[in-house]
Structure 1
Amino acid sequence: MSPEDSDERFGINGRVALVTGASRNIGRAIALTLAEAGARVMVLYHQDEAAADGVCEEIRQQGGKSAKFQADLCDIARLREIVREVEADVGGIDILVNNAALRPNTKISDITIGEWDDVFAINLRAPFFLAQAVLPHMVKSGWGRIVNIGGSDAYQGKARRAHGVSTKSGIAGLTRALALETARFGVTVNTLVPGVIDTQRPRPDWYPGIDTGFAERKQRLPMARLGRPQEVANACLFLASEMATFTTGQELFVSGGTCPLVRQPLEEYEADDF
């Protein structure tokens, strides 16, 4: 489907979208899907410039427009600078997708202040300040979409992810608060909550035994398979489009039928783990 063909259906042809963590996995799929629907996509990445170049090239090959921006999400000044650059170059940002996240696998006793602060800075602080930076344009223009990528861990809990779980719970609350303040101005703010998605993991040392764990969890999922990044991207397109004009402050689960309140089997812990 070309961007021109998508205009009437999705209503975002020519809109400017900024996607964080857009160089791989779910972020990449979201960037490509928004571009296919006609949006001009700003690809925000941290370290993998080659992967970001690849996403931009794919967008250009399908007839879309894109640009890349490098940023450490802990650096709020840099994020604000990027928003100003985009505004000066192509106009304000109409669609913000806060996708990037840090999810280290660390026992309670091993979480340092630095690691805790990094997770909160990337997963919760950056989404807020990016929203703060793009909202003036959205409110002034009477149209805007903010999609925050949450996590099912916020509802089920997750061992060795105390900091990550806390931030994803915070994202759900942040979404509702932003939605209430912006609803009268044509701006919608929603959380998209993926279930277990089959993605590439750049830091396997953070997730020891994850491949075995995924194989076991897959058998417990109602659909008996992992989700695909494209399935998350399709839901994001809905929330970012004209099809979701009366949807704000909500959480949309893309989880293959998994109830968000069903807890995972508890692992065994010993007293000396703490």
Structure 2
Amino acid sequence: MEIKLKNKVAIVVGSNFIFGKEICLALALSGAEVWIHHFNEEDKIEQISKEISSLGGTAKVITDDLRNPKEVQNVILEIAKSSGKIDILVNNMHVLSKKTIVDLEPQDWIETLEFNLDIPFLCSKEVIPHMLRIGEGNIINISATAAVTGEIGPHYAASKSALNSMTKGLSREFREFGIRVNSISPDIVQTSTSLSSLSKAVANTVLFLCSPYATHLKGEIIFLGEEENIH
């Protein structure tokens, strides 16, 4: 199945986190103009941009912290002004620290939800008006099976569970306006699949969700991993 995303504009938030590089590459090599957002690791992100360019794709790098609503507004506005529109938003936020409730400090809880939930909320809130303007769009939230299994820690599980709930809420609100919101939940703990293979699976699922083949999928939580580990 060949998926073409020519003339589509995408932003991948948190490109420097797990799955980010493969998602950016997949979108760009399918023809989309990809804005690679990162918080740090600038050299790593520049390498992704150069790799995409060397393969004939189009990529631009954008940096901001995004924990402040004004910062998010500025980033989204810059992309919309430069590219004329935004078709695809991928929220790839993964602040991950494995801690039990005994070791978990209040600040750990606040920071995990701030990155894994609040930033996707703020980005979605700013992108949706641009998608409404063109009458279509795709928002894809990268969650985790931990939302169901509770692995890694209560803070991480809670953030990803809430992200899945937000996915369903946004989908219900905007599906009639041509905006599809879905979530991908890879098993980053128990799966026997290598991280490289899992990253490719996540990226390919992102592509599928952005394609005309997935117009029937709205508010879905797509699990990737060992089925017996997801309870």
Q: Is the 8 A contact 1:93 1:134 kept in 2?
A: yes
Alignment partner, residue 36 of structure 1: 29
TM-superposed deviation, 1:112: 2.0
Distance 1:110 1:56 in 2: 38
**Correspondence for 2:67 among 68, 71, 74:** 74
Cα deviation code 1:149-171 (max 9, x no counterpart): 11111111125x11110010001
Q: Is the 8 A contact 1:29 1:233 kept in 2?
A: yes
Give the letter aligned to residue 139 of structure 1: L
TM-superposed deviation, 1:240: 1.6
Q: Is the 8 A contact 1:12 1:242 kept in 2?
A: no
Alignment partner, residue 173 of structure 1: 165
TM-superposed deviation, 1:70: 1.3
Give the letter aligned to residue 89 of structure 1: S
Over aligned residue pairs, what C-alpha RMSD do you find?
Answer: 1.7
Alignment partner, residue 136 of structure 2: 143
Please, which runs of 5 or more residues in structure 2 have no aligned partner?
none
**Correspondence for 1:128 among 98, 121, 139:** 121
Distance 1:113 1:50 in 2: 32
Cα deviation code 1:60-116 (max 9, x no counterpart): 111111111112232332121110101111112110000022111222123222221
Which structure has the larger Rg? 1
Q: Does 1:235 align with 2:228?
A: no
What is the TM-score with the length of structure 2 in the denominator?
0.93
TM-superposed deviation, 1:24: 5.1
Give the letter aligned to residue 225 of structure 1: T
**Within 5 Å, which residues of 2 pair with 1:170-209?**
170-196=162-188
**Correspondence for 1:101 among 94, 97, 103:** 94
Cα deviation code 1:104-159 (max 9, x no counterpart): 12221232222211111110011011001010111121110000011111111125
Identity %: 30
**Correspondence for 1:226 among 178, 181, 194:** 194
The DSSP-based 3-state class of the residue aligned with 1:230 is: helix
Q: Is the 8 A contact 1:24 1:51 kept in 2?
A: no
Please, which runs of 5 or more residues in structure 1 have no aligned partner?
1-5, 197-213, 262-274
TM-superposed deviation, 1:38: 0.5
Distance 1:24 1:259 in 2: 23
Give the letter aligned to residue 252 of structure 1: I
What is the TM-score with the length of structure 1 in the denominator?
0.79
TM-superposed deviation, 1:11: 4.4
Q: Is the 8 A contact 1:20 1:44 kept in 2?
A: yes
TM-superposed deviation, 1:22: 1.2
Cα deviation code 1:164-212 (max 9, x no counterpart): 100100011000000011111111000001113xxxxxxxxxxxxxxxx
